[in-house]
């Protein structure tokens, strides 16, 4: 919520110039030389994606309370903050008000980290409207964390169910920690929330990050999951979006916590190691990243759009903020162009974003590369908007 605002460009607008005189007397203007052709302004792809998505779905039909919709609508909020188009905020409020009653009650048990991600919308709506109902609803997530199950070293389980018991998924780093630091800032609870978010990222990083800087998808402290290595408890693969979730989370938390936060040096160290891994495994041909990150040489692996947006955002923001070396800005720019290559406009005038992995559990290589490659999946649309608001002026 502290992002700079830029003036929106109208999609497809032409930069025009020149003088006109009275029609009856003005001499015919000479045809411009080829080198004098008027430039075409870059489209505002954020506005185009939001307008396309909100024309496809109403706040009632976009889906239930879920993290993919929450991610997309958070991206839409960033576009609202820049453009001040009131329709975008009204849309978000209409969606949230399906679930939050006037007294702030919300029919969610918050028994998984996934269910908490859309809580960011509660915080931002309180920030924009001042309505106490959103504080009350957000407080339910904050209070749930008091009793939420943890690993022995304090990491939040991915979900409070037997099938997810004792497990840390890299995905979960984004589902709760950006909410936490934003909640703390909005409601004066940063002493707890900043420390908790930093602790979670540190614990997750200590288990999931391996020698090449990348993170494995998940870790099972009990070693009982079918995918868990019996010695390390780690999942077998580096699934790109799981690493993407963690990458965005660590940037958002570093942006929020104070410079003297005790865990900050540890988070910066994790991020720098991760950034080196991201650079190493970026596809040199496309600028994007592969679904299984370190196996791009295999013929059935493919570049995935949502994680490519996430890494592009994290590297650009990290370089700009000084968390990682400035040269990563160039890595991010290559990623940005790679993602833009997956964006097109259909015959109906609406945008289409291709090659987005649908929602994914923990699995093996064949499972990941066999996932459906969707178009306009909310995982990809939300990540695209977050990325584009970071890089559109670069």
CA angle centred on 247, ends 122 and 169, rounded to 5°: 80
Residue 12: which of 39, 52, 40 has the closest Cα?
A: 40
Q: In angstroms, rounded to a whole number, what is the distance separating the alpha carbons of residues 204 and 214?
A: 12
Q: Which residues are bridge partners to 344 per DSSP? A: 352
Q: What DSSP state is assigned to residue 104?
A: S
Q: Where are the alpha helices (DSSP H) in 45-102?
A: 45-56, 67-83, 86-96
Please, is 321 exposed, middle or buried when counting C-beta atoms within 10 Å of its C-beta (0-12, 13-18, 19+)? exposed
Q: In angstroms, rounded to a whole number, what is the distance separating the alpha carbons of residues 273 and 143?
A: 33
Please, is 97 exposed, middle or buried when counting C-beta atoms within 10 Å of its C-beta (0-12, 13-18, 19+)? middle
Q: In angstroms, rounded to a whole number, what is the distance separating the alpha carbons of residues 121 and 103?
A: 17
φ and ψ of 310, to 5 deg = -65, -45
- Whether 171 is catalytic is yes
Selecting among 44, 171, 252, 377, the annotated active-site residue is 171
Torsion of CA 360, 108, 247, 72, to 10 degrees: 80
Task: Tell me, rounded to whole angstroms, the distance of Cα 234 from its chain centroid.
Answer: 24
Residue 328: which of 213, 245, 239, 217 has the closest Cα?
A: 213
Number of Cβ within 10 Å of residue 288's Cβ equals 26
By DSSP bridging, strand 351-353 and strand 343-345 are antiparallel
Q: In angstroms, rounded to a whole number, what is the distance separating the alpha carbons of residues 82 and 78?
A: 7
Task: Give the count of alpha carbons within 13 A of 75, CB side only.
Answer: 32
Active site residues: 171
């Amino acid at each position: 919520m502290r992002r700079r605002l830029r003036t929106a460009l109208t999609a497809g607008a032409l930069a025009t110039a020149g003088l006109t005189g009275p029609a009856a007397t003005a001499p015919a203007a000479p045809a411009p030389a080829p080198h004098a052709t008027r430039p075409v302004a870059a489209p505002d792809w954020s506005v185009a994606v939001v307008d396309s998505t909100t024309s496809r779905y109403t706040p009632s039909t976009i889906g239930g309370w879920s993290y993919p919709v929450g991610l997309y609508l958070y991206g839409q909020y960033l576009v609202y903050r820049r453009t001040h188009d009131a329709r975008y905020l009204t849309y978000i409020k209409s969606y949230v008000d399906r679930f939050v009653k006037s007294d702030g009650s919300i029919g969610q048990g918050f028994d998984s980290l996934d269910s908490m991600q859309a809580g960011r919308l509660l915080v931002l709506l309180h920030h924009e409207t001042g309505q106490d109902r959103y504080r009350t609803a957000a407080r339910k997530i904050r209070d749930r964390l008091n009793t939420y199950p943890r690993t022995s070293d304090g990491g939040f389980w991915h979900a409070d169910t037997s099938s997810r018991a004792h497990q840390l998924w890299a995905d979960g780093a984004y589902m709760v920690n950006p909410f936490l630091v934003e909640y703390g800032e909005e409601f004066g609870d940063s002493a707890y929330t900043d420390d908790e978010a930093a602790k979670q990222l540190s614990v997750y990083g200590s288990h999931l990050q391996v020698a090449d800087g990348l993170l494995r998808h998940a870790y099972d402290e009990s070693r009982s999951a079918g995918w868990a290595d019996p010695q390390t408890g780690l999942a077998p693969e580096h699934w790109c979006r799981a690493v993407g979730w963690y990458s965005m989370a660590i940037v958002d938390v570093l942006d929020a916590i104070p410079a003297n936060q005790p865990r900050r040096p540890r988070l910066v160290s994790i991020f720098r190691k991760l950034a080196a891994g991201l650079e190493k495994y970026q596809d040199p041909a496309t600028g994007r990243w592969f679904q299984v990150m370190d196996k791009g040489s295999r013929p059935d692996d493919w570049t995935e759009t949502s994680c490519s947006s996430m890494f592009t955002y994290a590297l650009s923001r990290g370089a700009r903020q000084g968390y990682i070396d400035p040269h990563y800005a160039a890595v991010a720019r290559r990623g940005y162009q790679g993602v833009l290559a997956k964006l097109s406009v259909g015959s109906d005038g609406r945008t289409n974003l291709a090659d987005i992995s649908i929602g994914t559990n923990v699995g093996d290589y064949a499972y990941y590369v066999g996932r459906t490659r969707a178009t306009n999946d909310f995982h990809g649309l939300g990540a695209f908007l977050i990325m584009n608001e970071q890089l559109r002026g670069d």
